[in-house]
Amino acid sequence: MNMKILPLILNMRLNSAQPIQQNRNDSVQYRTAPLLRSPENDLFERNISFTSADRPEDVSPSRSSLEKLYKHHLTCLCCGREMIEPEEIRKLANTGALRCNSKEAVQILEKYEGNMHSVEKEVFGILKEKSKKYPDLNFQQILTLIKDEHEKPLIATQFGIFKMIEKASENINPELRKEIKELIEEEKQLIMDGNNRFRRKRFVNKFEQILSGRKNSATREHLIRLANKLPTSYEDKNAFIVKYSTKPADAIGIRLLSYSMCTIEHVRPKNPKTTNGENHLFNYIPECMRCNSFRQDRPMIQQLEEHPEMFFNAQRLMNRLVDFANRGKLSKWYIVKIQDRVKQESEGLLDLNIDSLNMSRKMRREYAKLQEDPVEPKFTVDDEMAELRAIYRPKTTADTTAETLDETNNKIYNKKRTSKNKNKNTEDTPKKKTNKELKREQIKKLHQAKYGSKKRSETKRR
């Protein structure tokens, strides 16, 4: 998955940042950080018409049209959090604005508090509280100050998990058990040496390596599950504080925001070994960095199982995207295609509603094909309307169905237009309505049921 590189970029930058006591004037390391492109330039955006593409093939596969929407505070597909525009984080990183004392840094970050994930929000709350007492200390100095009180519960948890692992490995063969014991002793040393050199990820990798000889037995699964219970900086505030107490003040500030950054997720994972999701607009959807990096290149159905709140959050995001498409800021083909892609990748579970998309006839046809139910349009009608539709229901294949439906609509539009003036003229001399007129009226009702009181010009414009 392409987005895997983002956490790497960020980590690289965070890790490469110089310790606070060294030369802090050097901001070159940030200037060169290849974060996402600037989505600015409103004028440019207004002049682009994404609706001009007649066919999906005419739509640019680039992600830039989605990136331009970042600044509109999109919500995450998965967790539903309002995401931060990458450009804002990049600016903060480039200018080193967060190297200041905690009082000023808190003022800068306060407006993002609602965007933060729970652990980050907890840590920020602690920093905010401490900054009142120590306004002149920077974030790193504060974390160093409070590190000890947070390290105690962290170590207790870590050692407890090590104990559980050792107990659970009593039944496996003595050689493996010995290896596991040695690894644990090694890591305990790293924890206790005072510099927090224990790294959970490294431990879990080594641990899995030791167990890799064993087949997928229940014991192996159990052991790996236990190892994965070791606290991480993104799930445990103590682990966060201990880990980041050695990082520069601005890196700590940026880290509080970075997991809430808006990124592009590949709906079909970009893994050549399995699915090989393409780098194409029709496979991209906005998601926060945390959810993106957690999913890795696993199938979307798994993400959905882990986060059933996605059912609500994905629809909320889709509603926003449909709104942008209706306003010409995003391709309507994108909406149709991504709806279908999400449905496929979630094995039909996440069937997002895009009824509010103002589709052209051509698009409706395509949409009907995708829905595999071209006869039934996606709007509700009463029995009378259903009957009427039956009159126009074509006899054979899906394609002709959609086409006929389109033709019908076309006629409705034209008739509606021309009949307006006619009705005015005949108002003075009312006469018995002919069958044709009655039919026309019914058609008009059908049109209204579908488009409400919108005139043709309105539905066409978008």
DSSP-assigned beta bridge partners for residue 263: 287
Q: Whose CA is closest to 242, among 199, 186, 183? A: 199
Name which position in 69, 79, 116, 446 contacts Zn ion (CB under 5 A): 79
Please give the Cα distance from 84 to 318 (Å, whole number): 18
Binding mask 322-351 for Zn ion (x = CB under 5 A): ------------------------------
Name which position in 3, 116, 256, 291 contacts Zn ion (CB under 5 A): 291
Of 82 and 407, which has the nearer Cβ to Zn ion?
82
289 counts as binding Zn ion under rule CB under 5 A: no
76 counts as binding Zn ion under rule CB under 5 A: yes
Segment near Zn ion (CB under 5 A); pick from 218-226, 233-241, 289-297, 329-337: 289-297
Please count the residues of the chain. 462
Of 3 and 211, which has the nearer Cβ to Zn ion?
3
Question: If binding means CB under 5 A, how many residues of this protein chain bind Zn ion?
Answer: 5
Contact 108, 95 (CB under 8 A): no
Residue 240 CB, nearest approach to Zn ion (Å): 18
Residue 290 CB, nearest approach to Zn ion (Å): 5
Of 79 and 388, which has the nearer Cβ to Zn ion?
79
Contact 370, 340 (CB under 8 A): yes
288 counts as binding Zn ion under rule CB under 5 A: yes
CA distances from 330 to 92, 247, 333, 348 (A): 28, 40, 9, 24
Of 73 and 178, which has the nearer Cβ to Zn ion?
73
Tokens describing residue 406 = 């389109």
Residue type, 387: E
Of 86 and 96, which has the nearer Cβ to Zn ion?
86
Contact 71, 87 (CB under 8 A): yes
Residue 260 CB, nearest approach to Zn ion (Å): 8
State the alpha helices, DSSP H only, in 4-114: 5-16, 28-31, 42-47, 64-67, 86-95, 102-109
Of 106 and 288, which has the nearer Cβ to Zn ion?
288
Residue 10 CB, nearest approach to Zn ion (Å): 16
Please give the Cα distance from 79 to 290 (Å, whole number): 9
Residue 9 CB, nearest approach to Zn ion (Å): 18
Q: Can you tell me whether residue 288 is helix, strand or coil?
A: strand
Q: Can you tell me whether residue 265 is helix, strand or coil?
A: strand
Q: Whose CA is closest to 40, among 86, 1, 77, 2? A: 86
Of 76 and 368, which has the nearer Cβ to Zn ion?
76
Of 79 and 105, which has the nearer Cβ to Zn ion?
79
Residue type, 397: T
For the segment 88-107, give every residue that binds Zn ion (CB under 5 A): none
For the segment 8-67, give every residue that binds Zn ion (CB under 5 A): none
Residue 64 CB, nearest approach to Zn ion (Å): 22
Name which position in 17, 78, 249, 402 contacts Zn ion (CB under 5 A): 78
CA 1-262-285 angle, to 5 degrees, is 55
Residue 188 CB, nearest approach to Zn ion (Å): 34
DSSP-assigned beta bridge partners for residue 84: 261
Please give the Cα distance from 291 to 210 (Å, whole number): 29
Q: Which residues bind Zn ion (CB under 5 A)?
A: 76, 78-79, 288, 291
